[in-house]
Amino acid sequence: MRDLSLLQIQMRDYDGYRETRQRLLELRPGQRASWIGYAISWHLLKDYEMALAVIEEFRKTLNPKPYDYEYSELILYQSSILEEACRYQDAINHLQKYEKDIVDKLFLEESRARLYQLLGDTSSSAAVYRKTIEVRQKIYSDVLEQQPRASLPKKLPLTFLTGDMFRDHVDEYLRRSLRKGVPSLFTSLKPLYTDSSKVSMIQQLTTTYYRTLIDKQLFHPEDTIESNEGELEPPTTLLWTQAYLAQHYDYLGDFKQAFHHINEALDATPTLPELQMIKGKIFKHAGNMQLAAQHLDEAQAMDTADRYINCVCAKYMLRNNQVKEAEAMCQNFTREGASAADNLNEMQCMWFQTECAAAYSRRQQWGDALRHCHQVDKHFTEITEDQFDFHTYCLRKFTLRSYVSLLRLEDVLRNHRFYFKAASIAIKIYLHMHSHPVGDETSHGESNPSNLSASELKKLKNKQRKAQKKAAEEKAAAEEAAKRQTTADKNNKASGADADSEVSKKSDELLPSKLERCADPLEQAIRFLVPLQTLCSHKIESHIFAYEIYSRRGKPLLMLKAIKGGYNLHTRDPRFHVCMVKFLIYVRAASNLPDSVKEVLDKEMSSIYNNVTPQSLNNKFLDDNKSSLPHRLAAAQAMYYMDQSCQTAALELACSLDNSLSGITIQNCSEVYASLTKQDFGECSEKMDSYKKSCHQLFPFSSVFSPEPVVEKPSEEVVCNGVNSGHHDPLTQHEQ
């Protein structure tokens, strides 16, 4: 019976779970797990009255001891059920009645304040919150007195102080951290950068430090040696000030100033790994992942025992599509005797796998990318299965509130960002595979080599050679998998077990060659889409993916559902606007829809579109967002989709880089350039070249718009740990 109840709660069969727990209670009424399990079953069914009645009967049988944690947890669990039942006053009375039995006094006061607020009694809520603040102030004062060198008590006031008080406190915090040489100083202050006034004060202080440290080796022009405890600031203070300013200007997008300060710091101390990491991060934000990965590689070579630098270096390599190099980098900290990819898969290292999937996708190695996406999906399935052991553990340990929270977390597990990223990559790949099936990539010209020029024929041969090499690698992998299958079958016959065979079959299912040649890509895309529609409906991407999939399957009602879901988010997302225009055109052009479908479409679309034409819808969208670059791109794409004779107007609209426009960033301009490359506006090579040149002038460090690879010229060579770690000046090429 107990095993049956565990299976029922695992499968979320709450009705069956309640019946089984009731029978267990009847069989073993003396066990507390029987009472608690039965109460939780009613709670999960949202029958709060029965849950409270069962818990109250069980509570009467207990004899609490002083400082009894389990009894305290039971009281707080009752309070949480009352709160869920919207019986806020009863919950307050319950907490007040058993206040002496509750161990966690701070949580008690916070719960009471929250309940008063839910009742609308703001004065009582404020009074309780003041009481909790006083308690925290005492704790804060005690920590500050006992740990005067601790940085956290000094940083916390910066989040709420303003004006001169903020300036004084941040001045003290900056001086102390720069003097100590804290590498994470900028990271700790970055949350303050949402307030422009605080950013301005921080910039004013740090630039003053920088100039005065160069002139006088002091922080401020008015400082003296006597006021500075009789000492000048050490040279490292200037070094960390330069490092902070480099990160500060990098965050603000002023890459020239950022490179200026980080290069000065590297000139003084070229062997400090943190400086190389900062420079790599600046290159990443400036749009050049190749040089970013190069500097992280240099930083890692300076401190090969640092796991964090190793991970960041691997991530940058993956962003630069260097998958094999990233795996070799991770091999330094993975289990010996196994490949880094397999070991990281066993450890469910999902950041690595999502980055690998994105890198393979950019390299158009669809099978390898999908393999990593499916591995991430399996991790979430395994995490869901792993909760099985906690059903008995939590009841035994009496962590009731945490147990209910765990069950609810598992129900929405796939709204995690790792799953969303993996699912997004997989859906995009399956959509591409539906439009361009593997094996049909060759164009008509490629199938007739006699029609190609010498250069085109050379490119075709290189492409065929790469395809043959990839096919050979996949064949070798398939043969290796077959060998493992044969070995596993032999072992199974000898031992009578089939576990290894199951593992081998699962690994065989994730062969890249099979994944990229699936029979129905859209069906596989829907498999990843369903959790997004259920758990990530607040994200516009979920509805865009749904529309793109169902539009290819010709499902007008499901397309309408996606449009309606995105419309209800009240978003002005430019990508969703293109979907709305396409759907309106599709419905107007459809002539063979059943009458029942037409009736539903007419009724629902009238409230969304207000009977406008596609042209009017696009014009209104453009008028409302004419100063935004991403919205202009969407309007231009919709314009060309409606009428291909408007190519010139659409290109002018999308490619404008006027100073009055907002959103002119590397990412947005890269999306415009990618749209031109994919021929969303037809053949426009001349416009694409001119746009690339214009963007190169705006973003000279970005490799996307550079006419040739951006290469740093070494200004000096430094040998560190046997590794050639040359320091270069990235501004040289662009200032000439």
pLDDT, tens digit, 9 for 90 and up, residues 278-314: 999 999 999 999 999 999 999 999 999 999 999 999 9
Among 221-235, 306-320, 481-495, 553-567, which stretch is predicted with the lowest mean pLDDT? 481-495
Q: Give the model's pLDDT for residue 447.
A: 42
Rounded to whole angstroms, the Cα distance separating 710 from 139 reads: 54
Is the pLDDT score of 465 beyond 70?
no
> What is the pLDDT averaged over residues 4-18?
93
Q: Give the model's pLDDT for residue 337.
A: 81
Q: CB count, 10 Å around CB of 207?
A: 14
Q: Give the model's pLDDT for residue 710.
A: 60
pLDDT band at 147 (very low <50, low <70, confident <90, very high): confident
Q: Mean pLDDT, the chain, as a whole number?
A: 88
pLDDT band at 116 (very low <50, low <70, confident <90, very high): very high
Among 102-106, 119-123, 404-408, 724-728, which stretch is predicted with the lowest mean pLDDT? 724-728
DSSP 232: P
DSSP 708: S
Q: Give the model's pLDDT for residue 497.
A: 47
Q: Give the model's pLDDT for residue 446.
A: 44
**Residue 723, strand partner residues:** 720
Kindly compute the dihedral angle of the four CA atoms of residues 28, 32, 33, 35, in this order, to the nearest 10 degrees. Answer: 80
Is the pLDDT score of 716 beyond 50?
no
> What is the pLDDT averaged over residues 393-413?
92
Among 107-121, 378-392, 402-416, 429-443, which stretch is predicted with the lowest mean pLDDT? 429-443
Listed residue (503, 509, 439) closest to 478, CA to CA = 509
Choose from 130-134, 360-364, 500-504, 718-722 the range with maximum mean pLDDT. Answer: 360-364
Q: Are 663 and 649 in contact (CB under 8 A)?
A: no
pLDDT band at 317 (very low <50, low <70, confident <90, very high): very high
Q: Give the model's pLDDT for residue 142.
A: 86
What are φ and ψ of residue 724, in 5° steps? -75, 110
Is the pLDDT score of 72 beyond 50?
yes
Q: Give the model's pLDDT for residue 483.
A: 58
Q: Give the model's pLDDT for residue 725.
A: 34
Higher per-residue confidence, 25 vs 481 = 25
Kindly list the structural domains of the chain, giving each domain's residue range(s) and its CATH number in brackets, ordered by start: 2-145 (1.25.40.10), 624-705 (no CATH)
Tens-place pLDDT, residues 171-191: 999 999 999 999 999 999 999
Rounded to whole angstroms, the Cα distance separating 527 from 373 reads: 12
Is the pLDDT score of 723 beyond 50?
no
Q: Where are the alpha helices (DSSP H) in 45-104?
A: 48-60, 69-84, 88-97
Among 416-430, 462-476, 478-492, which stretch is predicted with the lowest mean pLDDT? 478-492
pLDDT band at 448 (very low <50, low <70, confident <90, very high): very low
Positive or negative, the CA dihedral 216, 218, 220, 222 is: negative
- Cα R_g (the chain), whole angstroms: 31
Q: Give the model's pLDDT for residue 456.
A: 54
Give, in degrees to the nearest 5, the angle at Cα 259 between 257 and 262: 110
- pTM for the structure as a whole: 0.85
Is the pLDDT score of 315 beyond 90?
yes
Is the pLDDT score of 197 beyond 90?
yes
H or E element, residue 729:
strand 727-729
pLDDT band at 481 (very low <50, low <70, confident <90, very high): low
Tens-place pLDDT, residues 491-528: 545 444 454 454 444 555 788 989 988 899 999 999 99
Q: Give the model's pLDDT for residue 53.
A: 95
Q: Give the model's pLDDT for residue 139.
A: 84
Q: Give the model's pLDDT for residue 450.
A: 44
- Residue 375 in tokens: 């591995």
Tens-place pLDDT, residues 640-650: 999 999 999 99
Instruction: Give the CA distances from residue 421 to residues 430, 520, 540, 593, 655, in Å, rounded to whole numbers and listed in that order.
Output: 14, 22, 14, 36, 29
Give the end-to-end CA distance of the chain in Å, rounded to a whole number.
80
pLDDT band at 444 (very low <50, low <70, confident <90, very high): very low
pLDDT band at 699 (very low <50, low <70, confident <90, very high): very high
